[in-house]
Amino acid sequence: MSSADLSGRVALVTGASKGLGKAMARALAEAGADVAIVSRHDDELRAALVEILDGTGARGTCVAADLSDRAAVAGVAARVLSELGRVDILVNNAGSNTPQAIDAITDDAWDGLVQLHLSTAMALTRAVVPQMRERKWGRVVHISSVLAYTARPGRAAYAACKAALGGLTRAAALDLGPFGITVNCLVPGPFRTELGQRGAGPPDALDAMAARTALGRWGEPEELTGPLLLLVSDAGSYVTGSSLVVDGGWLAA
């Protein structure tokens, strides 16, 4: 059996109806895990689940929920645990962005981004960790961003949240390591997703971002799945408290 084999595991992936979340959920199913996916739009989510499970033999479920609503978060964890019996792997990927300059940030925009990116990651981790601890095995992966290390104009709230995930990762790894649970961050750079390219701006800005990478191109969503499988499987059993940058060399420029 491969050390990256996930047969018998159950994974919960947020923000998985498209883009990086969908690609990661598909990779987990292909590796043998049953998957639960979460996003806001039920129809989009159900269609995504069909594609994620197609040909894999994995079981799956989907939960439509607005994770910017704190009250909805606990319900998501409870439903997945009820339907699939356990959660071995948690991937906190749900995210959004509301670009605003630092002197124009509204309270609603700030609070919404902090809730979605940071508070939801904490709350879902808190909800699923007890049953991981009982089995002495678990994997938690937060999806951060290269904007945790650098920034762009109007991204103060987003960059602050993504940087904070790194601190949450390191502290939680110390709390949970004695119970066989690892906690890590994936730090994507420019990936070819709707959200990523919309946030980059007009076509000349997209070209400039590609040119800045060492590889001279945007990443494809599937190129994040290898690093993910390392962190959530026995192949990465001695990796915890780390932030793994997957950016085509963007930060090296």
Q: Which of 158, 191, 218, 250 is catalytic?
A: 158
Q: Is 158 an active-site residue?
A: yes
Alpha carbons within 13 angstroms on the beta-carbon side of residue 98 total: 15
Beta carbons within 10 angstroms of residue 70's beta carbon: 11
Only one residue has tokens 């409870």, namely: 78
Judge contact between 248 and 189, C-beta under 8 A.
Answer: yes
Residues 84 and 59: their CA atoms lie apart, in Å, by: 9
The string of DSSP letters for 176-221 reads HGGGTEEEEEEEE-SBSSHHHHHHH-SHHHHHHHHHHSTTSSPBPG
Cβ partners under 8 Å of residue 85, min gap 6? 10
Gap between the Cα atoms of 187 and 189, Å rounded: 7
Locate 10 and state its tokens.
């159950």
Which residue type, as a one-letter code, is found at position 62? Answer: C
List C-alpha distances in Å: 126 to 56, 59, 67, 78, 178: 30, 24, 15, 12, 16
Q: 148-178 in b/e burial notation, b at 16+ Cβ within 10 A? A: bbeeeebbbbbbbbbbbbbebbbebbeebee
Q: Report yes or no: 96 and 51 within 8 Å, Cβ to Cβ.
A: no
Any idea which residues carry the catalytic annotation? 158
